[in-house]
Structure 1
Amino acid sequence: MQDPAHFLPSFVWRADRDGVIRYANPWTARYLGRPATELAGLHWKIFVHPDDIDPVLDAVRQMRDGTLLGNVEVRLLRADGAYRWHTLHLQAQLDANGRIGDTMGVATDIHEARHAWAMYEASERRLKAAFQGARMGAWEWDMKNRVVRMTSQLAQLYGFPAGTDAIGLSDLWERIEPEYRELFAQKLDEALQHGGPFELDLVLDGGSAAPRWLRMRGHAEFDAHGTLAHVYGVSFDISKQRAAEQQLSLSERRYRALVESTGALVWSAAPNGDIRARGDDWSRFTGDEVVHLSDWGWLDYVHPDDRDSARQTWLEVLRRGQPGSSQFRMRRHDGQYRMVNAQAVPLFDSHGKLQEWFGTTTDVTAKHEAQAAIEARNLRLSVAMQAARMVIVTLDLASGTLSVESGAATAGNHPLTYDDALRRVHPDDRATLEHHVRTLVAGGEPAANFEFRVQRAAGELWMQGSTLLQRGVDGKPLRIIASVIDITQRKQLELMLRETDRRKDEFLAMLAHELRNPLAPLRTALALLDKQSDAQAPAPGLIDLMRRQVEHMTRIVDDLLEVSRITHGRIVLQLEPVLVGTAVYHAVEAIAPMAEARHQQLQVNVCDPTTWVNGDITRIAQIFVNILNNASKYTPENGRITVNVEADDESVYIVTRDTGTGISAELLPKVFELFSQGERTLDRASGGLGIGLSLVKKLVEMHNGTIAVHSDGPNLGTTVTVRFPRVHQQQRHAAVALSEPASEAAGSVLRMLIVDDNRDAADSLAMLCESEGHAARVAYSSAQALDVAPPFAPDVALLDIGLPDIDGYELAKQLRRKGETKPLLIAITGYGQTEDRLRAQAAGFDYHFVKPVNIDSLLALLASVTAGGGKRSGLD
């Protein structure tokens, strides 16, 4: 019995694992035009289109994943050499080892169906494109269900959301301009009553945009009972047509008004040149009756000085038989001569024979005078350009050439290639200038102004320019026009200002450093006064007053130094996890005496006492102390200050509110500027240098945070909000001394060597040490210190760093040789940066104090040394 595939009218074959055909049915042989016996042994690729071989192989590979059936659309080669589309059904057979052995292929011809579907899709695309290009959409009104069905193009025209294909009639009605609805309804009713095709125009409600006009063409359909059932039609956008019609109407009105306003004389002439005036224009202008102007009678009205020129020009126009014009002066009815422009155009018949001349004579006196004024203005502009050292540069994008106009009368135009011009630009500025040009040509919006340097043998010039891109009627870039001004003098002034600013910063830093020296003995003297007996000491209030002023001066000096360090990038944060609540409470404790003295209420609310941020504990404390100090300073007595600490998963917010004087709207945008202040009172109660918030903002930003200040106005309080990124760690901060000195033997008296070239600072510090029962020796230079130290054998040495002969670092090395433990070395210096501490540690110092010395910390350290502890306690 034969294989059933033998009788199938389909393309059937079987191939082995290597793709070699082992069987082909008669239909396949007839289709391919080859006997079945000849096909056996050939590869199936011979009748598959080369581009479709990979899809067939992909289908076979997919069958290896467990699926033994697969379909793919391919083109098969017919006997006549044509490829036809088929759906190829593949079925695999497994061999004894479970692998794919033979593969059976059955192909069904889908060529005509595929072609028909492609034609249908193409037709749909053309219809959609036609609708889209014509801005047209089709619609159907279902009058019984009050529903409108529409194409996507129509939905777009009406402004409905994408995908809308059906809406209610009422929704469509709402899209019509309200003022036009009643008229539209009347016209629509009249059109539907006739039952035939109709055409209506309507205007859509455009809101704030320009209204959109649509034209509807439709046909009504009635049911067997004569009731309106459906209305079919199309609508298309005629907004441009309406606008064009309105523009044309406006243009015509303008033209009529223009002709009437110009008062041009309209005339004609015979082919031989005899001129004939038309209408009353000639009479109104000359004041004479219209007469026949043959024999060149019109020349009688021309200024005597212009007659010969006017006559020769008219003869030349007649000779050439082409349009021409002439300007001359012509007498008006009041006896004045007016500059006129006469234009003549020849009119030919269909055979090219001259029939007559048509001409106009227009009073151009105003234009003539304006031209003279323009020439005068151009002269003034040229003078101004030279005075401003300005040039106009035009870059032709097609030719790549530049022309330069300097405004000088003799300069003229100097064409230059773009590459040559670019070579004159400073090498560091060429890339920026080229980027500006490319961005402008590409349609981008580069910076309004740009600067570059031009190299000359006589010296370098700084130029500033602004550009404009000019496009052609087709929208393509044509040329770049730039105005370029010489700003060399301004740039030199800017460099001078920058140098002045740098020197100012250096002066502030030096000023702050130098102020530490007198502050040190003042603080020490106050500590000594505190130790005197009640009978000897001044009034306690006087000491407190002096202490407050010294501390205030110290904060000002610290702020000056901090601003200078931040400005020059010399601050390096020592980042570690910090408890925000603890930092806030410490800041509150620091300003509590100030608040108590002013009878102010301080309230702190911390939502979560375990909220951490990553920061420098010293700088964060500095931030909060400055903010609270400002709040207390600008809040009157009996006022209130609240601090709220809030947090979310990402950030921590510290919000400080006060009931103080507030900030005016004029000052609020400037509160973070250096030396910016509000208006001071006469008693300077709210005085200061205006650097606190500037310093705070810089420190907050160094911690990747933000700060914002808000006030509703004067006397309405101020709110300061600081935000830091939150971290979820719990690591505590531990401060250590520069090194771990050996423990001193317990005792009550220390031999102390004090070295400082500031005599007041050295003497007052010695007096303070002696008041504690210690023995002190003073040296005012490194040389004196080296003489005094061997016989004195100090236990502790307090050394100033900035000594005039040998600095404190070298003196420390000489006072305590390597391997020794005495004396205990303490640095007393005005330099307190991290690098200063590291340098002091490298020189062998055990502790580091910044002037003015915190007396309590110093005495605590000395007490720990006498007790044999050798541990650091609250050092600056």
Structure 2
Amino acid sequence: MTAGTLFDHPGLLAEAIAQASDDCIFAKDLEGRYRFANRATLAIFGFTAEQVIGRTDFEILGDGAAARRLRENDRQMLAVGQAVEREESLPAPDGSLRCYHTRKMPLRGASGDVVGLLGIARDITERKAAEAQREADRLKLAMGIQAAGLVMADIDYRTNLNHISGELARLLELGDGPLTVPRQAIFDRIHPEDRDRYLDAIRRTLDPAGNGHLAIDVRAQLPSGIVRWLHIRLQIVFEDVDGRPQPVRGICAARDVTIERIAEGRLRAAQRLTQSVIEGAGALVFAKDLQGRYILSNQAWRRLHGLRPEQVQGITDDELFGVGAAGELRANDRRVLETGEPITVEERAVVQGELTVFRSSKFPLYDEAGQVYAVCGVSTDITDVVEADRRKDEFIATLAHELRNPLAPIRTGLEILRRVGELPPTAARTRDMMERQLTHMVRLVDDLLDVSRVSRGKLGLRVEDLTLAQVLDHALESCQPAIAAAGHVLAIELPKEPVRLRGDLTRLAQVFSNLVNNAVKYTPPGGRIDLRATREAGEVVVEVCDNGSGIAPDLLPHVFDLFAQGRGTSQVGPPGLGIGLWLVRKLVELHQGSIAASSAGPGQGSTFRVRLPMAN
């Protein structure tokens, strides 16, 4: 058939056009049977014309629900009697779901009656997916902008107009919703002190030679008097105008960073203050990383070592003090790193050719993940204090020995006087007074000797198997005269089963005799002293309680300090040097025990509680 003949047959021409179309073109009768389906329609079903023509959607589609939807759409169109457009979904042969934009219209016979329908469908699956993706991207962008607290503006540089969002309008007190305002309206909100800096930044950003990007923090001064800090980001879009790139559009995002700026300002002020305090501190402040390299030092530390700030970074203890002293320092650092706990230690090192003693407080530094990344230290030079303590100990030892020398002939002289026979009453009283004072003097000298030995670490213990009863018998033997003279009642309560200890009998007896004598001294005549012992989790707890003058609250934390003396309390007997309780604590600690004091206050009595480990 020639082309001219085809044009003479409109039906053949229409079918050729339908077959050539990428759109799906089909016709159905009133019962829903397909009477025509072009190649695109057959491709949807994956069938041939013989498998489709004369069959309904229920027979062709494997999905009954989809067939019902198509049939219902057909009926609605036929009921209306005119063309209807809608979107329809159909399962593809590969199992995927395809979306089509369909236009259906009634087919009429020669008499004008509706005999079926004609449909044209276009596959819009990819377009729908792209639209869905664009909408998802838009929502993500909107959510991101909202979450970041951003306010937006779109600047048209051809008209000098700003199209601003409602959030930005409210932030700048320009209105309650989206607005289009001149660029000058935005500029007028910039704080006068920031305007020149803002204008210079804008000019550089509008220069086509640059990248068209701006990030700046400026203040906004609002009509209400409020000043806000804004972080502004601007991206310029350039286009060729008459052969030259010109700024035509700007996309702007801004965020209120007032709170962050205030917080940053306070943080910087705190950091400057901390840095000033550390740098100006008289103590030595330093920090070392996990490899032992110095990463922080203050002026006092650098002055001691004769180093400039740039010389400190990365230096190690080996370089500063030599391998020997560095080993001790590293061992203390490792204790901090391994336990995560602060420590206070004495450290010795040769500095500038002289042996120096430091009291160092060391503690861990943690990173944001909670991991230790360095050891920080604060050290004080206590060389003079240590030397003074050594000289004090030597002085006490020398004093005690020198005092003992004349005591022996005095004791001998008093003994001769006692043996010469009857003395006149006045002489006898004088002799007795001298003997009492001599006994007191001997006890004070003995205490001084013990202080000297303990301070120098030269007090040795003769450890043996003991019972608590043995210790207390020896202790009370020397206390009975003082208890009887004061008219006190001594009540003793011990466990029925023997309490076994490992210790030095003489020194443990000294502990409890000192405590009982202390109770006698501070308890008015006719008082009561209780000596109780109980077992507690592998320890024996011995309490010495009295109903005497008590201990003032401000003195209680210091009762075991060397040379501490109670004030404002009623005291019986001669005063001491304030070293008895210090000795008691040291002797208890040498036996791996502990001691504590308690009192309800002046006039309320005192309790001293000693804990000692029991022998297995």
Query: Cα gap change, 1:677/1:272 in structure 2, threshold over 3 Å: closer, same or farther?
Result: same
TM score, norm. by length of structure 1: 0.41
Residue 445 (structure 2) pairs with residue 445 (structure 1): no
Q: In structure 2, do the counterparts of structure 1 residues 659 and 356 end up closer, same or farther at CA, with 3 Å as the change threshold?
A: same
Matched residue of 1:622: which SS? helix
Q: Deviations over 1:123-158 (max 9, x none)?
A: xxxxxxxxxxxxxxxxxxxxxxxxxxxxxxxxxxxx
CA shift for structure 1 position 449? 7.6
Supply the distance in 1 between the matched residues of 2:453 and 2:394 (Cα, whole angstroms). 10
Summarize the Cα distance change of 1:653–1:512 in structure 2 as closer, same or farther, 3 Å threshold: same
- CA shift in 2, pair 1:459/1:372, >3 Å: farther
Deviations 1:242-284 (A, max 9, x none): xxxxxxxx9999977xx7xxxx7x5312375843243655984
| CA deviation map 1:557-603 (0-9, x unaligned) | 11111221233233334455556546544543433332232222344
Shift of 1:333: 6.0
Find the residue that maps to 2:551 and give its secondary structure.
Answer: coil
Q: 1:270 aligns with which of 152, 156, 163?
A: 156
Taking structure 2 as the reference length, what is the TM-score of the superposition? 0.55
2:443 maps to a residue whose letter is: R
1:395·1:480 contact (CA, 8 Å) conserved in 2?
yes
Please give the residue correspondences for 1:419-430 in structure 2 after superposition, counting only pairs within 5 Å: 423-424=319-320, 426-430=322-326
Answer yes or no: is the 8 Å Cα contact 2:205–2:212 preserved in 1: no
Match of 1:359 in 2: 252
Q: Which amino acid aligns with 2:524?
A: P
Residue 313 of structure 1 pairs with residue 209 of structure 2? no
Q: Cα distance 1:468–1:675, how it changes in 2: closer, same or farther (>3 A)?
A: same
Amino acid across the alignment from 2:323: P
* Corresponding residue number in structure 2 for 1:344: 234
Identical aligned residues as a percent: 29
Distance 1:440 1:297, change over 3 A: same
**Change in 2 beyond 3 A, CA 1:679/1:357:** same
Which whole-Å CA distance do the structure 2 matches of 1:450 and 1:614 have between them? Answer: 30
- Size of the alignment, in residue pairs? 448
Determine which of 433, 444, 468 is the counterpart of 2:365: 468
**Secondary structure of the equivalent of 1:538?**
helix
Aligned in 2, Cα 1:415/1:334: closer, same or farther, shift over 3 Å?
A: same
2-structure distance, mates of 1:283, 1:643: 81
Aligned to 1:692: 580
Give the C-alpha shift of residue 555 in structure 1.
Answer: 1.0
Following the alignment from structure 2 to structure 1, what is the Cα–Cα distance between the partners of residues 237 and 544? 90
Q: Does 1:512 align with 2:407?
A: no
Residue 717 of structure 1: CA displacement?
Answer: 3.2
Structure 2 spans left out of the alignment, 5+ residues: 1-142, 239-246
Question: What SS does structure 2 have at the residue aligned with 1:556?
Answer: helix
- Is residue 401–residue 415 contact of structure 1 (8 Å, CA) maintained in 2? no
State the match for 1:570 in structure 2. 458
Q: State whether residues 405 and 414 of structure 1, in contact with CA within 8 Å, keep that contact through their aligned partners in structure 2.
A: no
1:545 aligns with 2:433: yes
Q: Gaps spanning 5+ residues in structure 1: where? A: 1-249, 349-353, 729-876
Amino acid aligned to 1:275: L
In the TM superposition, residue 710 of structure 1 has moved relative to its aligned partner by 4.5
**Deviation per residue, 1:781-820 (Å, 9 max, x gap):** xxxxxxxxxxxxxxxxxxxxxxxxxxxxxxxxxxxxxxxx
Shift of the 322–469 alpha-carbon distance from structure 1 to 2, 3 Å rule, reads farther
Whether 1:670 aligns to 2:558 is: yes
2:486 and 2:399 mapped to 1: Cα distance?
A: 31
Higher mean displacement: 298-307 or 667-676 = 298-307
Match of 2:416 among 528, 550, 559: 528
Partner Cα separation in structure 1 for residue 502 and residue 510 of structure 2:
15
C-alpha RMSD over aligned residues:
5.6
Paired with 1:338 and 1:645, the residues of 2 have a C-alpha distance of: 72
Please state whether the residue corresponding to 2:452 is helix, strand or coil. Answer: helix
- Alignment check: 8 A CA contact 2:232 2:253 kept: yes
CA spacing shift, 1:705–1:516, aligned 2, 3 Å: same
Mapped contact 1:404–1:415 kept (Cα < 8 A):
no
1:699 deviates by: 3.2
- For residues 314 and 556 of structure 1, what CA distance do their matches in structure 2 show? 89
Which one-letter code corresponds to 1:634 in the other structure?
A: Y
Give 1:719 deviation, angstroms: 3.9
Q: 1:379 to 1:529 in 2, by over 3 A?
A: closer
Letter of the 1:387 partner, please give it.
Answer: G
| Letter in structure 1 aligned against 2:280 | A
Q: Is the 8 A contact 1:530 1:537 kept in 2?
A: no
Please give the alpha-carbon distance, in whole angstroms, between the structure 2 residues aligned to 1:429 and 1:653.
42
Cα distance 1:711–1:254, how it changes in 2: closer, same or farther (>3 A)?
Answer: farther
1:795-834 map, 5 Å: none
Decide whether the 8 Å contact of 1:680 with 1:686 is kept in 2.
no
> 2:592, 2:612 within 8 Å by CA — same for their partners in 1?
yes
Find the aligned partners of 2:551 and 2:341 in 1 and give their Cα distance: 38
SS across alignment from 2:398: helix
Which letter maps to 2:402? E
Q: Give the aligned partner of residue 280 of structure 2.
A: 387
- Deviation string 1:507-562 (CA, Å, 9 cap, x unpaired) is 11222222223333333333333334446453544433332222112111111112
Task: Report matched runs for 1:181-220 at 5 Å.
Answer: none
* Matched position secondary structure for 2:563: coil
In 2, Cα distance between equivalents of 1:612 and 1:374: 61
1:77-116 aligned at under 5 Å gives the runs: none
Asked whether the 8 Å contact 1:401–1:418 carries over to 2, the reply is yes
1:497 Cα deviation from its structure 2 partner: 0.7
* Contact 1:448 1:467 (C-alpha < 8 Å) held by counterparts: no
Alpha-carbon contact 2:585-2:595 (below 8 Å) kept: yes
Distance in 2 of aligned mates of 1:654 and 1:383? 52
Provide the residue aligned with 1:660 in structure 2: 548
Cα distance change on mapping 1:496 and 1:595 into 2, 3 Å: same
Contact 1:441 1:469 in 2 (8 A): no
Residues 1:251 and 1:699: Cα distance change in structure 2 (over 3 Å):
farther
Cα offset, 1:499, TM superposition = 1.1
SS of the counterpart of 2:367?
strand
Q: Secondary structure at the residue paired with 2:234?
A: strand
